[in-house]
Amino acid sequence: MLKTEERLEYSQLLEEFILGCKTEQKIGMEYERIPVSTYGKNVVPYEGDFGMCELLRELARKDNWDYILDGTSIIGLKKLHETITLEPGCQFELSLEPQKLVKDLKNRIEELDYILNPILEEFDIKFLNVGVSPKTTYKNIKLIPKKRYHLMANYLWGILSDVMMRETAGIQIGIDFHSEEDAMRKFRLANLMIPFTTAMFANSKIRGGVDTGYKSFRALAWLNTDNERCGFATDFNNMGFKDYVKKLLDTPMIFINRENQTHSINGKLTFKQYMEKGFEGYYPTIEDWKLHSNLYFPEVRLRNFIEIRNHDCVGNGLEYSIPALYKGIMYSKSALEEVENILNKFSTNEIKELRYKVARSAVSTKINGKSILPICKELAEIAYYTLKTEGENEEQFLLPLMEQLKKGKCPADM
């Protein structure tokens, strides 16, 4: 327990965001894929001689990674500034060290895949670049032995929360900011872009072996999971760091950790109430705050960078179109202004409603009676020409996206 004078101060809650201001602007990427058996196409379990735990053990042995443990269970690997972790349903997530160039993210993924591929072949496992498990549903996917995931599964509400946790895979992008004003401008724009980028990369049509009628069932699952902590972080106009902190303070807590023990709160109080009166003799620490922040899952999340989380996992080169799109828009003053001018004509409520529509029909969706496809094309073109002016040949990574949009399609259509 903490003495009164050691209790967390409100000013400390802002520090992670303030300290996130950077002079150098890089791109981060978290890349989730779904492991299935090569022959049966079922999701590979955690346990067993050829399960995901043993795969991690073999990768650690061959490529000198350290274990990440939960108790005695291997739940991931770490090496320098990179981690490999298993999501609740054994989804394989690679969190890359941020880079200035998209090609460096691509090179690192290819290096790791070169080492992984012989192990995958030995284990009869294939990684799928899709947004939802195409065959195995959550009822037949056991949670990995990570205490946090079991507490989350018991707490998170919403008719598709189990689908979200156990069946889905996405690609998340990290964007840097150099000031609070810059952070909130990019945060706002990323929120406005959500339905359009969800549509561009929609890739989760097949679930349980059947056509769901949705181009992104993954997006639908997130839209139907605990709207107290998922979806939009706020009504994102005229925001500052304090507004984001206030939203977090008002969000119910799931659990805290003390001395390797997990104490379930299960939504009984918000973080603000926790700061005011504690919980069962415990009072908040900065680690509690960081944990609580990481258990908040809006489509755009503010950390010491901006985390954009709304994309289905894709392949065939489109996985690199995602970081290239954001790099071309977010790190160019003129591109930022162009995209703001395009999207500012839509209200917050129109953007919110559009998020639900694109889950079903992706780039065929209409807003105010007009197709969103021309807007998607325009966003890709703005990023393309920005990157082209930089002379690093990064615009090449947008060609798969632009070719797909030229056909009026999303990955689920291809």
Residues 240-275: pLDDT tens digits? Answer: 999 999 999 999 999 999 988 899 999 999 999 999
> How many percent of the chain have pLDDT more than 70?
98
pLDDT at 1 over 60: no
Query: pLDDT at position 144, please?
Result: 98
- From the number of C-beta atoms within 10 Å of its C-beta (0-12, 13-18, 19+), residue 398 rates as buried
> Taking the CB of residue 55, how many other CB atoms lie within 10 A of it?
24
Residue type present at position 106: K
Structure tokens at 197: 């980028």
Query: pLDDT at position 390, please?
Result: 95
- From the number of C-beta atoms within 10 Å of its C-beta (0-12, 13-18, 19+), residue 123 rates as buried
In a domain, 186, yes or no: yes
Query: pLDDT at position 260, please?
Result: 83
Query: pLDDT at position 4, please?
Result: 44
Q: What global pTM score does this model have?
A: 0.96
In a domain, 229, yes or no: yes
Residue 148 belongs to domain with CATH number: 3.30.590.20
Structure tokens at 334: 């003129």
Domain with 342 in it? 4-251+296-413
In a domain, 274, yes or no: no
Task: Determine the average pLDDT of the residues in 270-286.
Answer: 95
Q: How many domains does the chain have?
A: 1
In a domain, 231, yes or no: yes
In a domain, 281, yes or no: no
CB 198 within 8 A of CB 219: yes
Task: Determine the average pLDDT of the residues in 197-216.
Answer: 98
Task: Determine the average pLDDT of the residues in 179-191.
Answer: 96
pLDDT at 369 over 70: yes
Task: Determine the average pLDDT of the residues in 299-309.
Answer: 96
For 219-244, b/e burial (b = at least 16 CB within 10 A) is bbbbbbbbeebbbbbbebeebebebb
In a domain, 267, yes or no: no
State how far the alpha carbon of 104 is from the alpha carbons of 66, 101, 172, 175, 295, in Å: 23, 5, 16, 16, 29
pLDDT at 154 over 60: yes
- HSE (side-chain half, CA atoms, 13 Å) at 145: 11
Task: Determine the average pLDDT of the residues in 288-317.
Answer: 97
In a domain, 314, yes or no: yes
Query: pLDDT at position 233, please?
Result: 63
In a domain, 271, yes or no: no
Distance, in Å, from the CA atom of 409 to the CA atom of 414, rounded to the nearest integer, reads 7
DSSP assigned state of 211 = E
Q: pLDDT per residue over 320-364, tens digit each?
A: 999 999 999 999 999 999 999 999 999 989 999 999 999 999 999
pLDDT at 229 over 60: yes
pLDDT at 3 over 50: no
Q: pLDDT per residue over 70-110, tens digit each?
A: 999 999 999 999 999 999 999 999 999 999 999 999 999 99
pLDDT at 194 over 70: yes
